[in-house]
Amino acid sequence: MRLPRGGESVSGMNLPGDINLSMALCVWRRNFTVYRHTWVTNILPNFFEPVLFLVGMGLGLGVYVGGNMRGQDYVAFIAPGLMASAAMNGASFEASWNMYIKMYFSKLYDAYLATPAQMQDIAFGELLWGTTRALIYGAGFLVVLLGFTLAGRPILTSWWTLLVPLALALIGAIFSLMGQWYTTLINTIDLYSYYWTLFLTPMFLFSGIFFPVSDIPGGTTIAWFTPLFHGVELVRGLCQGPLELRHLGHTGYMLAVCALLLWAVPRRMRKRMVK
């Protein structure tokens, strides 16, 4: 919490980096209020996509794979990764098209800046909302998995599963910030096709959701630089164990990227808004 400068109000809570938490929560509350009226139509596509992959790939392709995925059934192997991808998609949708529309089409951020809110408050409020969206989709899929059994046995076998929402929130935070960063770089909404097709989709396919990345020569090294790989490994460790020191490394990687982007994104947004 910073000290107020001369003539500055002491009301409101401030986080490091001059982020006013009260203003950021106002941004979050506005998004939540709108979402309350549209959540049914918004949640269905993102919620059912991982469920369809779970049924189609896990139960379909899993018949041929059997129990050869690290000694477990294929559907049990891919389930935690699909949960991580659900959180990624929830945050990414919010930080891409939705954020672009609010910033450039509806001029909502211009309205925010006419209030005491500053750009870092707006960015942090959008981060909180993107993380909330990730939790909604990820936790919804978690509820499905909690009721999913194979031969009478649950596919989530660890008590550490109770901490999965924290991992989903971390995944949501990192992809919210990455989406915000990309949004500040583009001049047309059509360029999101590159972000989804050339960035998010390869991560979805090659971050260890459907097969161990170690099966590809150099796959582990390449995957280490992708945030979804770390999210998948962390969620899988929490859901099925055993937790190892490497999972602490996955957590540290995502926290470090979040810290870097939390510093960089408001500066990029400020430069973009004054153009």
Lowest mean pLDDT among 102-106, 144-148, 258-262: 144-148
The answer to whether 1 touches 14, Cβ cutoff 8 Å, is: yes
Residue scoring higher pLDDT (55 or 43) = 55
* 17: helix, strand or coil: coil
Q: Confirm whether pTM is higher than 0.85.
A: yes
pLDDT in tens, 198-250: 999 999 999 999 999 998 888 999 999 999 999 999 999 999 988 999 999 99
What residue spans of the chain are helical by DSSP H? Answer: 21-53, 62-65, 74-93, 99-100, 108-113, 119-146, 164-183, 192-195, 201-206, 219-224, 227-240, 245-273
* pLDDT score at 15: 58
Asked if the model's pLDDT at residue 27 lies above 70, the reply is yes
* pLDDT score at 42: 73
Phi, psi angle pair for 189, to nearest 5°: -65, -20
Q: What is the dihedral of CA 82, 181, 165, 139, to 10 degrees?
A: -50
Rounded-to-integer distance, Cα 217 and Cα 269, Å: 39
**CB-count burial class (<10 Å; 0-12, 13-18, 19+) for 217:** exposed
CB neighbours of 247 closer than 8 A, spacing ≥ 6?
233, 234, 237, 238
The answer to whether 151 touches 68, Cβ cutoff 8 Å, is: no
Asked if the model's pLDDT at residue 38 lies above 90, the reply is no
Rounded-to-integer distance, Cα 9 and Cα 235, Å: 42
* 118: helix, strand or coil: coil
- pLDDT confidence bin for 166, thresholds 50/70/90: very high
Asked if the model's pLDDT at residue 95 lies above 60, the reply is yes
Asked if the model's pLDDT at residue 268 lies above 70, the reply is yes
* pLDDT score at 67: 64
Asked if the model's pLDDT at residue 10 lies above 70, the reply is no
* pLDDT score at 172: 98
The three state secondary structure string of 127-159 is: HHHHHHHHHHHHHHHHHHHHCCEECCEECCCCH
Rounded-to-integer distance, Cα 4 and Cα 8, Å: 6
Lowest mean pLDDT among 10-14, 19-23, 113-117, 225-229: 10-14
CB neighbours of 61 closer than 8 A, spacing ≥ 6?
74
Asked if the model's pLDDT at residue 51 lies above 60, the reply is yes
Residue scoring higher pLDDT (193 or 39) = 193
The answer to whether 47 touches 137, Cβ cutoff 8 Å, is: yes
Rounded-to-integer distance, Cα 225 and Cα 230, Å: 9
Lowest mean pLDDT among 67-71, 229-233, 239-243, 261-265: 67-71
Greatest extent of the chain over all pairs of C-alpha atoms, in Å:
70
The answer to whether 254 touches 170, Cβ cutoff 8 Å, is: yes
* pLDDT score at 157: 87
Mean pLDDT taken over the chain: 88
Asked if the model's pLDDT at residue 5 lies above 50, the reply is no
Rounded-to-integer distance, Cα 83 and Cα 85, Å: 5
